[in-house]
Structure 1
Amino acid sequence: MISIIKNNKLQKGLVFVAIAFTLQSCFVAKDYKRPEIEETENLYRTDNLPSDSLSMADVSWKTLFTDPFLNQYIEEGLQNNMDVRIAIQQMIAAEAYAKQGKAGYLPSVSLGANATHQELSKNGQFGSLFGGGIDQYDITASLSWEADVWGKIRSNKRATTANYLQSVAAHQAVKTQLISNIAITYYQLLALDSQLEITKQTIETRKNSVKTIKALKDAGLTNQVAVDQNIAQYNSARALEVDIETAIFKTENTLSILLGKSAQKFERGSLTNQKIETELKLGVPSTLLSNRPDVMAAEYNLIQSFELTNVARSNFYPSLKLTASGGFQSLDLDNLINANSLFATIVGGLTQPIFNKRNLKTQKEVALAQQEQSLLQFKKALLVAGNEVSNALFTYTSETKKFEFRKNEVEALRKAEQNSDELLKNGYATYLDLLTARQSALSAELNIIDSKLQQLVSIVNLYEALGGGWQ
């Protein structure tokens, strides 16, 4: 007889499982596949499309930058910068959710101890039997487990994992941007130092020129207007010196924030010694998918949305749950831990949602819309990445050409200034010729420094645009 009962229970259990897996054929959670993006091949706007997968992004920033001061500051920034530290905490929070998603396959287990006193009506059915009151004690363990019939738990696990990986990529993006910002700010300081040096030399030269022009006026070779114009140029250079010193002060404060430090002065090299010898290799556009942290983050966001859409679909189908409870229960505390006090309950069942105030349908529609939004954001991230690479490369090429023109301009204007000075002393030129030549020469010298700065900045921008720095 017992054998027959056991067989009947086994048969019912098999039928129950068979029904569940028959229903599963109606819905199977889909696996994510990277969407085909036609724009990938034409992301770079350049006459020489790269065919090699090697990219300068694969080079460590320690190799790219050769200035020891700059490398030291980048190292400090990666350790102390507030944005990096905030990103790390966001990554830790996302990791906790990812761990929770992985635990979705495990059952929920709880343990509790209870003491209950119930007063019964003396005129009631049980009050007359129990003297009006009942005391009951129990120690109960409960278990709840849901079978992942439709892949809902698996999809939720993948979604939380993608969210964690997105936070990791976001952290990498912060590091890449930080390295770029530190390098650009450092180069700006070096450029300002060079401009300040030239300005001080100009001030000294114009100070001597004022003495010379006064002597020429006393000799009757020029007039007071020439003297006043030279004095004005001298004071203009002094004012420019103050502006550059102010810019240096503010730029040092900017670097302090990037390094997570209080405002201070920084040791540094010189602009003329800055050399970046790494070959400017772009790599094929598809390498942006694995090098650019923001592009990777956008794809992980798409994966998360895709998996949450799977979860929203699976909510329309029945859930297979198993619950069990057991422990000790007794009316007498002294007999609580006793073999006769043992009890157990096991319940298994399918729950099919039928009417839920449109919540499930709304969740599915929202999930699909968010998935499409994430896809568009992913495509946009790729387009922006390609645009940044194109701009940085074109800027570097342009500034390299411009630098040669600036050098020729400075040489010509320096000669013009010297010749005008000699001609004025000998009475063959006016003071206006000399003033014009001097002002043009100073502007050209400041411009050539800026051109050198823009070359360095464009290389840093290209390195960041290709996804370099976080490896």
Structure 2
Amino acid sequence: MRKRYIIISLVMAAFSLQSCFVAKKYQQPQVDIQDQYRNVSTTDSTTLANMPWNQLFTDANLNALIKEALHANLDLQMAIERVIAAEAYYKQGKMGYLPTLNLNANAGNYEASDNSPSGIANGGNGPNYENYQLNGSISWEADIWGKIRSNKRASRAAYLQSEASRRAIESSLVADMASAYYQLLALDAQVEVAKQTVTTRRESLETMISLKEAGQVTEAAVKQTEAQLYSTQILLLDLEQNVALLENTISLLLGRNPSTIARSNLKDQEIKIQLHTGFPVQLLRNRPDVMLAEYGLIQAFELTNVSRSNFYPRISVSANAGFESVNFEDWFDSGSVFSNILGNLSQPIFNKRSVRTQYEVSKARQSQAKHNFKKAILNASREVSNALYGYQIEQRIFEIRKKELKALSKAVQYSEELLNNAYQNTTYLEVLTARSNALSSEINLIDSKYKQLNAIVELYKALGGGWQKE
């Protein structure tokens, strides 16, 4: 009965002290998020981030590549394993309220030295005896100051942080795959232009040789045409090398050995949906990196609670009971039963400043996490604004480049006609310049098309898209 009173009194003391102090509750810090993005007026909460990637991208080959990457990408697989590990710690944290229970059994023969104190006391004969023991022990710590609860919330935040990290990798993987795919299509288109140009310049070289034989151009004009052919062949080789290197990069994203990537063509790529951005405050729940930063802040906040609780007393109860006997046949006899119970109250007094140091470090880490959270929000808003502006500019550049290519193509046509008709005011240098400018313009137009598509991908990623499920 006395043991029961000890337990009851300690438990009641624990709960009465618990009412005197409760760990602080986390509150999201005030963050300055404007109602609008820079240069964009939004009145609707609809955001591109909520659209699944397979609805945004309509190219069947691209969707197949993204799906394969989400199942086989090694970085994502490692992130999933980190989530599993964090979940295990979270499950352990949820069990912090429960007591610790252990069961031990041992049996042995003990023979003391004749010259040991016990041996001398026994006339120079060290005692020799057997001992058999089976006992269970239980211990429990009262969560007076909210330490266990704070540890539980900290482990939950760590788990959610790992989950947000996985989402961030998913979002980046979808964007990286789409960007690399569009770039590959652009390189294919540029390779095709370079091949056609090589063919055209071979024909031009044959024409120039004929004109030289007819006395209409000099040998210098022939050599300049020949050199221009070589420069175009070098350009073609560079582009083909870039295609191979990019295919290898995409293969790495897919978690496979370098191989050919199935794809369509650039001219069929169109994203015709409206690019809704929603409000900046929606980044808090759409951007995985912002969520990751906030969960990091929550974890740091709860660990500060834990450090603060170390300044206060700890109350714990432990008990031990079982069977012990020096004779095997009496091991489980009623006379072999033993038990004990212990209540413990400990208060740190002087421990070389370790408790205060831990608390100050926790507070500093919490402040760092808070600054990191605010920085993540500012960075997210910046990336959305950059992507929006980039998309608007690339649209305008693309339209101008189309006009530029049309004008330069006409210039090549007119200069070649004048040269072939032996027009005296036309030099072959003008023809070479017109051809070179036209080729550069056509290559740049393809690149502008890619940048236009890539700007949409960047906007989708910046808004927090790519990890949502259907």
TM-score bracket, shorter-length normalisation: over 0.9
Q: Structure 2: how far apart are the matches of 1:12 and 1:247?
A: 78
- TM-score normalised per structure 2: 0.94
Equivalences for 1:236-247 in 2 at 5 Å? Answer: 236-247=231-242
Q: How many residues align?
A: 460
Superposed CA offset, 1:256-275 (max 9, x none): 11111101111210101001
Matched, 1:459 2:456: yes
In 1, Cα distance between equivalents of 2:233 and 2:8: 94
Q: Which runs of 5+ in 2 are unaligned?
A: none
1:429-468 matches, within 5 Å, as 429-468=426-465
Q: Does 1:46 align with 2:39?
A: yes
Give a deviation string over 1:19-65, Cα, whole Å, max 9, x none. 44454455320111111112x126732242x2322110100000011
Paired residue for 1:3?
Answer: none
2:146 aligned residue (146, 151, 166): 151
Counterparts of 1:259 and 1:123 in 2: how far apart (Å)? 77
Q: Deviations over 1:52-97 (max 9, x none)?
A: 2211010000001111110011011111111001111111111111
1:95 pairs, out of 87, 92, 96, with 87
CA contact (8 A) 1:56 1:278 kept: no
C-alpha RMSD of the superposition: 1.8
- The question of whether the paired residues in 2 share the 8 Å contact of 1:64 and 1:277 is answered with no
Distance (Å, rounded) in 1 between the aligned partners of 2:118 and 2:203? 115
Partner of 1:60: 52
Following the alignment from structure 2 to structure 1, what is the Cα–Cα distance between the partners of residues 347 and 36?
48
Q: Distance in 1 between matches of 2:118 and 2:402?
A: 107
* In structure 2, distance between residues paired with 1:385 and 1:264: 35
2:48 and 2:465 in contact (8 A); partners too: yes
- Secondary structure class of the residue paired with 1:265: coil
Deviation at 1:118, TM superposition (A): 5.5
**What are the equivalent positions in structure 2 for 1:351-362 lying under 5 Å apart?**
351-362=346-357
1:41 counterpart letter in structure 2: Q
CA contact (8 A) 2:311 2:348 kept: yes
CA distance in 1: counterparts of 2:45 and 2:300, whole angstroms: 30
Aligned pairs (5 A) from 1:216-255: 216-255=211-250
Rounded Cα–Cα distance in structure 2 between residues aligned with 1:372 and 1:51: 34
Partner of 1:70: 62
CA displacement 1:404-427 (0-9 Å, x = unmatched): 100000111111111111111112
Q: Counterpart of 2:24?
A: 30
Q: For the Cα contact (< 8 Å) 1:298–1:381, is it kept in 2? A: yes
TM-score, structure 1 as length reference = 0.94
For 1:122 and 1:373, how far apart are their aligned partners in 2? 64
Alignment check: 8 A CA contact 1:252 1:264 kept: yes
Moved more, 412-421 or 342-351: 342-351
**Matches of 2:5 and 2:76 in 1, distance apart?**
59
Q: Which structure 2 residues correspond to residues 188-227 of structure 1 after superposition, within 5 A? A: 188-227=183-222
Partner SS, residue 23 of structure 2: coil
The residue that corresponds to 2:366 in the other structure is 371
Identity of aligned residues (%): 50
**Cα distance change on mapping 1:21 and 1:186 into 2, 3 Å:** same
Matches within 5 A, 1:99-118: 99-116=91-108, 117=110
Instruction: After superposition, give the CA deviation of every residue in 1:144-203 in whole Å (9 maximum; x if it has no partner).
Output: 111111110010011011001100000110111111111111111100111111111111
SS in 1 for 2:402: helix
How far apart, in 2, do the equivalents of 1:34 and 1:214 lie?
A: 77
Change (3 A) 1:220 1:153: same
